[in-house]
């Protein structure tokens, strides 16, 4: 993650969030009880508590070093009563008594976020707002949301340190259907066609076209299914940008 220092070398911490985490923070409802899964230094929940924006938080971490870092941030800010830091895998950090109303899972691959949601379903009460910020692999996240009755309420793309980040906000709403293209591009992004969205897909199209050219030149045959998949994606993107 290019997140050690922000633009212009700004030191990022619980007072100065990256632009990416600021955009995530903006999606957390006022007064929420937030579970931040994969919290690392717990900058997001601590920043929100320092601002009085949320009521309480759980910071979940699966790895010992970031878990200790999260404990330190919470202790340094005197927020031990409001933030529970827990060493746990995924949503296992959440206990029913926490009364969690929003869950953030940020800064990981989309497949990891999908796996965390899927293996932790038993810890969801269905009322939480999910605020997900995958680093790539958005399609599997959207597919999981659709298959589990979550409607996408907001989608955002932002560029920071030459990376494109997506934020997907969803709430449980009963059956919802998205087309294959909507799952790939994001249903709301496709409608809004923001400059950041179009720039992202222009750059992905160039990479897909390069991949197809490499496939054609490859000495060993690339499986036909793989070629077809990339060709289909390149066609979708070309149509999107037309
Ligand atoms: C790159 S950091 C992102 C930190 C922060 N969420 C952010 O967006 O800046 C990813 C963190 O997720 C944690 N993580 C990965 N898989 C996890 C899981 N299954 N449960 C809890 N934490 C996990 C990692 O240990 C790491 O600290």
- Sheet of strand 150-160, all strands in order from the earlier edge strand to the far edge: 83-87, 54-61, 32-37, 102-108, 129-134, 163-172, 150-160
Nearest CA to ligand 1 atom 25: 63
- Asked if 36 and 74 sit in the same domain, the reply is yes
Confirm if 215 and 222 have CB atoms less than 8 A apart: yes
- Token pair, residue 20, equals 């990416």
CATH number at residue 92: 3.40.50.150
- Asked if 152 and 34 sit in the same domain, the reply is yes
What's the domain range around 215?
A: 198-241
| Three-state DSSP state, 188 | helix
pLDDT score at 5 = 54
* Domain contains 221: yes
- Asked if 130 and 51 sit in the same domain, the reply is yes
* Domain contains 189: no
pLDDT score at 27 = 98
The CA distances from residue 202 to 11, 52, 63, 93, 130, in Å, are: 31, 40, 37, 39, 28
* Domain contains 184: no
pLDDT score at 181 = 95
Distance between CA atoms of residues 184 and 141, nearest Å: 10
For a substitution probing ligand 1, which of 19, 91, 108 has the most ligand atoms within 8 Å of its CB? 108
**Ligand 1 centroid, distance to 236 Cα (angstroms):** 32
- Asked if 172 and 212 sit in the same domain, the reply is no
Distance between CA atoms of residues 117 and 168, nearest Å: 14
| Three-state DSSP state, 106 | strand
* Domain contains 186: no
- Asked if 55 and 134 sit in the same domain, the reply is yes
Phi, psi of 128 (to 5 degrees): -75, 145
Confirm if 65 and 86 have CB atoms less than 8 A apart: no
Question: Mean pLDDT of residues grouped by 10 in the chain (242 residues)?
Answer: 52 87 98 98 97 98 98 97 98 97 97 98 96 96 98 94 93 95 97 95 96 91 93 96 95
DSSP 98: G
Nearest CA to ligand 1 atom 12: 38
Nearest to 53 by CA among 44, 61, 62: 44
- Asked if 151 and 119 sit in the same domain, the reply is yes
> For residue 18, which atom of ligand 1 is closest to its CA?
9
> For residue 60, which atom of ligand 1 is closest to its CA?
21
- Asked if 148 and 235 sit in the same domain, the reply is no
- Asked if 209 and 95 sit in the same domain, the reply is no
- Asked if 123 and 216 sit in the same domain, the reply is no
- Asked if 163 and 95 sit in the same domain, the reply is yes
Is the C-beta atom of 62 inside 6 A of ligand 1? Answer: yes
pLDDT in tens, 104-129: 999 999 999 999 999 999 999 999 99
Confirm if 65 and 42 have CB atoms less than 8 A apart: no
Nearest CA to ligand 1 atom 20: 90
Domains contained in the chain, number: 2
**Ligand 1 centroid, distance to 122 Cα (angstroms):** 20
Last residue of a domain, one of 127, 143, 178: 178
Is the C-beta atom of 89 inside 6 A of ligand 1? Answer: yes
- Asked if 127 and 213 sit in the same domain, the reply is no
* Domain contains 234: yes
> In 53-74, which positions are buried (b, 16+ CB within 10 angstroms) versus exposed (e)?
bbebbbbbbbeeebbebbbebb
- Asked if 220 and 100 sit in the same domain, the reply is no
* Domain contains 191: no
Is the C-beta atom of 40 inside 6 A of ligand 1? Answer: yes
| Three-state DSSP state, 8 | helix
* Domain contains 47: yes
Chain centre to alpha carbon of residue 4: 18
pLDDT score at 3 = 46
* Domain contains 190: no
For a substitution probing ligand 1, which of 62, 92, 110 has the most ligand atoms within 8 Å of its CB? 62
Distance between CA atoms of residues 107 and 80, nearest Å: 24
């Amino acid at each position: 993650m290019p997140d050690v220092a922000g633009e212009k070398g700004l030191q990022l911490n619980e007072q100065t969030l990256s632009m990416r985490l600021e955009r995530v923070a903006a999606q957390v409802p006022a007064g929420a009880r937030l579970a931040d899964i994969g919290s690392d230094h717990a900058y997001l929940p601590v920043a929100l508590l320092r601002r009085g924006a949320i009521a309480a938080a759980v910071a979940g971490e699966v790895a010992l070093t970031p878990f200790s870092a999260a404990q330190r941030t919470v202790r340094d800010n005197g927020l031990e009563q409001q933030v529970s830091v827990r060493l746990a895998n995924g949503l296992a950090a959440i206990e029913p008594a926490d009364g969690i109303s929003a869950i953030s899972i940020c800064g990981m691959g989309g497949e990891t976020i999908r796996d965390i949601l899927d293996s932790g379903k038993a810890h969801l009460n269905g009322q939480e707002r999910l605020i997900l910020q995958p680093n790539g692999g958005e399609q599997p996240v959207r597919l999981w949301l659709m298959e589990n009755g979550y409607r996408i309420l907001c989608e955002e793309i932002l560029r920071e340190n030459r990376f494109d980040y997506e934020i997907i906000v969803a709430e449980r709403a009963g059956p919802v259907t998205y087309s294959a293209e909507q799952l790939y591009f994001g249903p709301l992004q496709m409608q809004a066609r923001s400059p950041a969205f179009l720039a992202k897909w222009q750059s992905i199209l160039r990479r897909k076209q390069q991949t197809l050219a490499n496939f054609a030149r490859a000495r060993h045959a690339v499986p036909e299914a793989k070629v077809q998949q990339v060709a289909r994606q390149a066609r979708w993107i070309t149509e999107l940008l037309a």
